[in-house]
Amino acid sequence: MDTFEIIAEESDVDKRIDLFLAKNLESFSRSYIQDLIKKGKVTINNKIIKANYRLKEGECVVLDIPKPEPLEIVPENIPIDILYEDEDVILVNKPKGMVVHPAAGHYKGTLVNALLYHCKSNLSGINGVLRPGIVHRIDMDTTGVIIICKNDIAHQHIAKQLANHSITRKYVAIVTGNIKEDEGVIDAAIARSKSDRKKMAVDKDGKRAVTHYKVLERLNGYTYIECVLETGRTHQIRVHMAYIHHPLLGDEVYAGKSGMKLQGQCLHAMVLGFIHPKTKEYMEFEAPIPEYFNEILNKFRKV
């Protein structure tokens, strides 16, 4: 069990204990801290307190964080659309709504659960028990091609290509508004949002992020585009397109509600190309555009 001790200062007087701890321990959510308070893991002067307790100056708040219980990720017989497979790598066309690897709130039904059933123990272990074989990921509501590594040697090779930006990654997306330019480059650093820790944002102090975009079709108030990633930051295309005032259709995080019945952003990882870790040959795979995406395009074309 890890223990944190924090002294309340003059500026903390009369603050609620849960808000005080959430501010001082940003790596823990307020809901998690409230749960620990309910379980009696927060004390002041050896006395268990409630979440609405108001602080006094100089009080020593003690928070005990229980060690996480080891999780067993269970193989699940979930159908997966395999684009290519050999003894080193497997490329999958991920459907909308599927989480890539287990995380808080998503320990079942993930791509990893499906891969453990399909590949048995033949997955790389570099990223730990929660992310076997996973060398990169795409968002839950983003569809398309993702590469998984079956052994650590393959994982190291693919990870190196990702790091030096030599992997080909082409996406297609539908964005709001008509983009005037036929093509362009967005070179804007991205970091965790300072106002909302669940979001990313353009930030000059963040990591460099570069997205190349090209207009494929203009659709009466929307634009169908291709994006090529030069870097691979979290939510990169979603953040960059919102930054130039053309957010992705259906992206409620960065664009708000669209008024259409959509399940997340209209974004599809269409092409992935890489140097095979064993043969050293360049290979490229394409995931067909999903049905929902084509239906939206056809609907806009008829307007």
CA distance 257 to 273: 34
Q: Is residue 72 part of a domain?
A: no
- Same structural domain for residues 177 and 216? yes
CATH of the domain at 31: 3.10.290.10
**CA angle centred on 294, ends 293 and 299, rounded to 5°:** 100
Q: Is residue 33 part of a domain?
A: yes
Place of tokens 């998690």: 32
User: How large is the average pLDDT for residues 269-273?
Assistant: 98
Q: Assess whether pLDDT exceeds 90 at residue 260.
A: no
- Same structural domain for residues 14 and 129? no
37-60 pLDDT tens trace = 999 999 998 899 988 899 999 999
Comparing C-alpha atoms, which of 129, 131, 127, 130 is closest to residue 152? 127
Q: Which helix (H) or strand (E) holds 302?
A: helix 291-302
Paired strand residues for 213: 184, 227
Q: Which helix (H) or strand (E) holds 114?
A: helix 111-119
| Predicted local confidence at residue 126, as pLDDT | 80
What is the average pLDDT value for the chain, to the nearest integer? 92
Side chain identity, residue 239: V
Q: Which helix (H) or strand (E) holds 93?
A: strand 89-94
Q: Assess whether pLDDT exceeds 70 at residue 228.
A: yes
Count of domains observed in the chain: 2
Q: Which helix (H) or strand (E) holds 80?
A: none
- Exposed, middle or buried by CB within 10 Å (0-12, 13-18, 19+), for 146? buried
| Predicted local confidence at residue 33, as pLDDT | 87
CATH of the domain at 287: 3.30.2350.10
| Predicted local confidence at residue 295, as pLDDT | 95
- Same structural domain for residues 187 and 287? yes
Q: Assess whether pLDDT exceeds 60 at residue 1.
A: no
Domain stops at, among 24, 41, 65: 65
71-116 pLDDT tens trace = 678 999 999 999 999 999 999 999 999 999 987 777 899 999 999 9
Q: Which domain holds residue 44?
A: 2-65
Catalytic residue among 12, 18, 88, 139: 139
Active site residue 141: no
Q: Which residues contact 185 (CB under 8 A, 6 or more apart)?
A: 210, 211, 212, 213
CA 186 to chain centre: 20
- Same structural domain for residues 11 and 105? no
